[in-house]
Amino acid sequence: MARTSYRRSLPVLASRQRVLSRRGMNLFRDPRWEVGLFPSIGLLALRLGAGATMVIAHGVPKLMKLLGDAPIRFADPFGLGMTTSLALAVFGELVCGVLLALGLGTRAAALPFAFTMLVAIFHAHAADPWSDKEHAFLFLVPAITLALTGAGKLSLDHLIARRSAR
């Protein structure tokens, strides 16, 4: 039985590792992950609908509550304090909602957005009937969808990726 020389295979493995790391680094810019124009219009509608509604209906009121003079009363699911929990909810709903609507850092912004909705479903509305949890769930679905699909061609993400590819 001939003994295999591992030294000869090391350059091949190193080159494969470089290719894989480059592919991993460019996963979000890989053309195979891009969608066409009509699906991009659908993603634009999803981003604008979910992002703008979250910002207007939930993010801005929470920001006013955070900046207001009244004492803060807010759920504290992780023991960070009511003010910190409210600030994190403002980040998830307002900042990430704006980023989703613009299509800027969509996949990254969708994660805290979705996490905030999971906290709303399983902590803030845990004892409430489904009709109260339903609102958070209806925001969770677009967040997960956008985390998986990205923003599409009609977004700042696509514009930045196109410019950086030049």
0.85 exceeded by the pTM?
no
Residue 112 lies in a domain: yes
Dihedral (Cα; 26, 27, 32, 34), 10-degree rounding: -100
Residue 84 lies in a domain: yes
Backbone phi, then psi, for 71, in 5-degree steps? -60, 140
> What confidence tens digit (pLDDT) does each residue in 78-114 have?
999 999 999 999 999 999 999 999 999 999 999 999 9
Q: Do residues 94 and 60 touch, judged by C-beta distance below 8 A?
A: yes
Residue 9 lies in a domain: no
> What confidence tens digit (pLDDT) does each residue in 4-58 have?
554 554 454 445 445 545 545 454 555 555 678 888 999 999 999 999 999 999 9
Residue 11 lies in a domain: no
Domain that holds residue 75: 34-165
Domain count, the chain: 1
- Taking the alpha carbons at both ends of the chain, their separation in whole angstroms is 52
